[in-house]
Structure 1
Amino acid sequence: MSTIPEKDLPPGRHRVLREHLMREITNETSDTSETDKANETPSPVRPPFWRRPAFVAPVAAAALSVAVVVGASVTRDAASDGPPSPHSAPSDRPERRSSESAARLLERVAVAAGKLPSGVEGDEFVYTKSDHYHWKMDPDKTVSDCPRTLEGHAYGVQERWESVDGQHVGLSREHRSGGGVVERPIAEQLPGKNTVNFYEQAEELPTDTDGMHRWLYGLDPGEKASGKRPADVAAFKKAGALLTGNLLPTKTAAALYRAVSKIPGLIVLEGARDAAGRTGVAVAMDGVAAIGFGQGESRSELIFDEKTLDYLGESTVNLAAPKDRCDALAAGDLVGSVAILERTVVDRKGEQP
């Protein structure tokens, strides 16, 4: 295996580390002064534990570009003086509104998807390598006078081998960010009613725009969408889950992109980020938390490579400014993200491209 050089921390992390170091230096200086006066030995201060796992994206197949990425997570010791503050400066948050419409972008994505190679056999396996990040809460811990700890958690890289026809036992291999590998079997799958559980089920989805639009909204033939916001949000989330969780036949993918373009309330953003630190152009919906937590002050994004238009993954971004010092997420911080590093078809489970 080749050695991958480390990259810089993601935007804002240097500032967090620097601020924490200055606090520790200040505390140490203060403790030393008091000790000199009292001729006593100060109690040691246990620093917080910092993790900096490296996420490696291999050479991608036709569906994805090459990326070498580094993620970072930060935890805060319960005895320290406050919650972590992984805020990035406004200049570090690259998301900006694009003048391109969602319909125009998704049409370009649909055309690009239609050109990808196809041809999959039932006894093969869909191989997916992905990177996951979630901002989590632990209500059982307190930090100073704050009601709970909040920390960025890099779940590590996951590899999955899923049966094309759902009739063969697959494999999940998790590369934990703290070290170690955990393997679990993926059971044989039955077709889902409202979800797609394997590739051959995806082949049964509509390949025309109107049919796919009805599927996203759960409509019968001839039935029209209600036009209500909850139905639009549910359709957008369903599209994101389908894209993030499955390899799609080319015609199905093209129909999906064109159907998504008909969902009201979409915007296009440049510089959207995924769990792997990559940036791309995103089709997004405000007030939606598809990954992680969120109560209306968040935005979910479907992210594409700006040049190849390959699907990179899905992110949920916090939109609200911190209410107080216990509110650890700034506007623009990731709440959760799944980055698709590689997705292709292989002959056997455990086989890597």
Structure 2
Amino acid sequence: MAESGFEGFEKRLELHFFGDDPVIHDMGLRLLDFDSLQEVLDAVQCTVVSAVGNQYFDAYVLSESSLFVYPTKIIIKTCGTTQLLKSVRPLINYAHDLGLTICSCRYTRGNFIFPKSQPFPHTSFKEEVIYLEDKLPITLCYRKATVMPSKMTSHAWHVFTACDQTQVVTPLPNMPDIAFTMEICMTDLDRVLARKFFRRPNDGKNGDTAGKEMTDLTGIGDINPGAIICDFAFDPCGYSMNGIDGDRYSTIHVTPEDGYSYASYECVGSVYDDQDDVVQMLKKVVQVFRPATMSVSTTCASHEVWTRVAHAIEPLGLKCRSCIMDEFPSAGTVVFQTFTVARRKYSAVDTRGGVELELGA
């Protein structure tokens, strides 16, 4: 818990592995027992509160955000004052014991609301990068770290990627170049809607029951009706959800307190999906929270998805303020867009060429 309030902005770590044993490749990291996973989470300073899985992957709701375990990929995102990067070395070691070798790493986060409350190694992005550089094997020799700015000082996107030589020339084996990851960060939520994420005192419910009620009450269940939802409500307030839909996940985390309210939505998809589905998803997310400020980071080798973001959001009263893109080894193109309710001009920046173009009023 930060001194001034709870830190909603998550840190997100994604690690990819490969192995030669086909049996291991089929189950891979999913063979890790719960005690091993909890040992990793102990280093991060969080724990599992709920879980669900299918034939493709396992999804865990954590006391601070989420964990997703695929056979050769693991994603952890944690909020508060957790020490997420302390999971890197234990995960590499456990994967090695299973015959898996790391081939790619991606770390992303927004701007912390309470940066001075963050413990090492999250005291600054520079310290985070130094820590990652030290903990990752030298085989991940293609590395890049960038802070992607916006026209709002409260929103910037921090990206670190590292990969080996194979991932520079070929797509990740379980994340082809037609796949995308979308990370949405929302602040200054509508106060009436945010109150739905508070529990009544002495309601007699456990976190799972209260979480299901919040999912139904807020309309979160309608964002992706086909997903199996694992949800949890914290006491006295706060909410987390993981959705699983085939081999895809989505996740929501809410810190609803006035003054530092925050919500995040993350999902994965394919550029071959109906792009109208992406538009409808974005609209539903905005309507659930009605933030005054939001950012959308899209990671994809194709430009098919991010170009639809403003088209989906702006009719809801949020104006695009800035749009910046950059290329990262193995990850592809990262596009970072910011939106607020005020009316001003915005621009697009291509950091590869240092060109800034005004797109509209």
Normalised by the length of structure 2, the TM-score is 0.24
The structure where strand makes up a greater share of residues is: 2
The structure where helix makes up a greater share of residues is: 2
Higher relative CO (CA 8 A, sep ≥ 6), structure 1 or 2?
1
Normalised by the length of structure 1, the TM-score is 0.24
Structure of greater Rg: 1
